[in-house]
Amino acid sequence: MVRQGVTSRTWQFKPDAATMSDLRNGAGIEVDNGGQGNIVRVKGRSYPLDNLDPSTTPPPSCQIDRILRLSPPNGNSASPDPKSSGTYYLNSMGIMVSTKGPNKAARSSYHVTVRNRSALDALKVGHDVSMVTDAGPGEWAGRNWAVVRVETGGRLQAYSFPVSIDANPEGPSSTVIFTDSAARTVTIRDNKTGRTLQFNAGTTPLEDLHPNTGIEISGGNNNLMGNVDSIRKFYALNEPTPGAPCCSVSVINGGVTTVDKAAGATHHIAVDNLAAKAAIKVGQTVSMDPSGKWALFQLKLDGQLSTYSFPIDSEGKSTEHAAETVALWEIKPNAELKGALGRLVFGFTDSDAIGAASIRPVGQKEEGKLVFFDAQVPLPPGKYEVNANGALVRDVPVEYGMETVIKVGVLSVTAGVKAGIYDKSKNKELKFVDGGKTILPIGTYYLKVNGVFALVVIKEKQVTEF
């Protein structure tokens, strides 16, 4: 049985005795499915490749129980099979297929990594699967393969995919996000925390370590055992060296928004690790992996500077619009907070300022709780709308054990000057004032005085005179 590494397409051929002996001793093979038809070469000898005969593999002992389709980092989720269920990981390609035996009382579950997109699209829940154990030499001995027959390109073809060692229903603990064929390095990411490490692949074929390969890591930081597909090896994990920073953090809200230093394009980064998000600061530099799908951060957590990576959800506006993207709040840990609550505060106040703010959960129609700008407001985790003197800040997150600080400044209008405060569209009047000081969220506003608009910019913790 012969498997092409890139496509997982599987054939069979009948070697002579000498070639069979060479194969048992670990001889390499070369598959050529080009202009001469499908052939395989072993030490210069060529043989025709035939479609895999069902009689050469064990009868199907399993069937596909569910298909775990992985969501790409660009934010466009792959459409799962309607009969499928399970966890959808933030990887651009590849799925995990869980199979089970026909005996419901004694089912065994396996994870199978499927890399070929056309084969993936042809797989369905309930599809028959045969299990084959590699009897080859060296590290390949004992490796398990799932063999499926699917129709692709109008023909019924056989494919074989590696079976993971550990039948973890949530998939592998870590995932390869990119490889460097020149340096022979492999960068992996913990699927739950985003912690990112690197190891040297040595002589391991990088085809077995390409991006989105599942890998299990266990052990200490200096000597870890990696399970790549179904080969167990020892790898020393090291801190990766991210490339030169391309971007800087401009907004921290539901995720993180970065601005490209050269092009001005914005990217939204999904950060689901709350401790990591709390360590990210506005203005911090960010690198990207060579594929442009992962953002790499150097963060200090637990007293140690470490690398974390998170998927890039989408690209936002560029050039002149990028400058309008500002962080309206900051989330940071607060050791004083106990229990299951977070806290919302305003980052600046002025005893002479007028007005107040209201806070309500997103989606609530009733009026929110009225607070003054020196208040410390404990709240359950969730997203809130904060209305500060008519200026609405949407989707403000409050997180367990964290303090959300709304960034505000003060607009000081000369006594006796009557003015309407408008949003940057000039279409909505937020508040009318007759001189005095007004606290507002940072950003761009317009004052309308005697029918004429004047631009004002509210900066964090500063008083803007007008």
What is the domain range of residue 304? 247-324
Domain match, 198 and 221 both: yes
Q: Do the domain assignments include residue 20?
A: yes
Instruction: Say yes or no to pLDDT of 445 above 70.
Output: yes
More confident residue, 164 or 434: 434
> Does residue 240 form part of some domain?
no
385 assigned to some structural domain: yes
In the chain, how many domains are there? Answer: 5
Same domain, 290 and 386: no
Q: Is the pLDDT of residue 324 over 60?
A: no
Tell whether 449 and 380 lie within a shared domain: yes
Q: Are residues 99 and 123 in the same domain?
A: yes
Higher local confidence (pLDDT), 28 or 310: 310
Q: What percent of the chain has pLDDT over 70?
A: 73
pLDDT in tens, 235-246: 777 888 888 888
Give backbone dihedrals phi and psi of 322, rounded to 5 degrees, phi first.
-65, -35
Q: How far apart are CA 4 and CA 159, in angstroms?
A: 9
Residues 39 and 72 in one domain: no
d(CA 246, CA 244): 6
Domain contains 168:
no
CB atoms under 10 Å from CB of 24, counted, come to 11
Tell me, yes or no, whether 25 and 131 share the same domain: no
Q: What is the pLDDT of residues 363-380, one digit of tens each?
A: 888 888 899 999 999 998
Beta strands in 261-323 (DSSP E): 266-269, 285-288, 294-301, 304-315
CA distances from residue 109 to 8, 124, 218, 291, 330 in whole angstroms, order as listed: 21, 17, 21, 33, 44
Band the pLDDT of 420: cuts 50, 70, 90: very high
pLDDT for 34 equals 56
If asked whether residues 279 and 340 sit together in one domain, one would say no
Q: Quote the pTM value.
A: 0.46
Same domain membership, residue 90 and residue 221: no
Q: Which two tokens stand for residue 393?
A: 């800040």
Note whether residue 37 is domain-resident.
yes
Confidence of residue 409 (pLDDT cuts 50, 70, 90): very high
Give the burial string for 237-249 (b: 16+ CB within 10 Å, else e).
beebebeeebbeb
pLDDT digits (tens, 9 = 90+) for 229-282: 445 566 777 888 888 888 888 777 666 777 777 766 777 888 878 888 888 888
Which range is least confidently modeled, 59-68, 185-194, 217-226, 330-339?
217-226
Does residue 241 sit within a domain?
no
Shared domain check, 460 and 392 = yes
The last residue of a domain, from among 235, 268, 288: 235
Same domain, 78 and 158: yes
Q: What percent of the chain has pLDDT over 90?
A: 16
Q: What integer best gives the mean pLDDT of the chain?
A: 75
Q: Does the structure show a pLDDT above 90 at 125?
A: no
Same domain, 290 and 226: no
461 Rama class: left (phi>0) / alpha (psi -120 to 50) / beta: left
Q: What is the pLDDT of residues 69-104, one digit of tens each?
A: 544 333 333 333 333 222 223 233 345 555 565 555
Last residue within a domain, chosen from 38, 54, 70: 54
Question: For residue 410, what pLDDT is reported?
Answer: 93
Judge whether 466 lies within some domain: yes
Final residue before a domain boundary, out of 183, 205, 235: 235
Q: Are residues 333 and 466 in the same domain?
A: yes
Q: Read off the pLDDT of each residue in 222-226 and give the average, rounded to a whole number.
A: 46
Report if residue 167 sits inside a domain: no
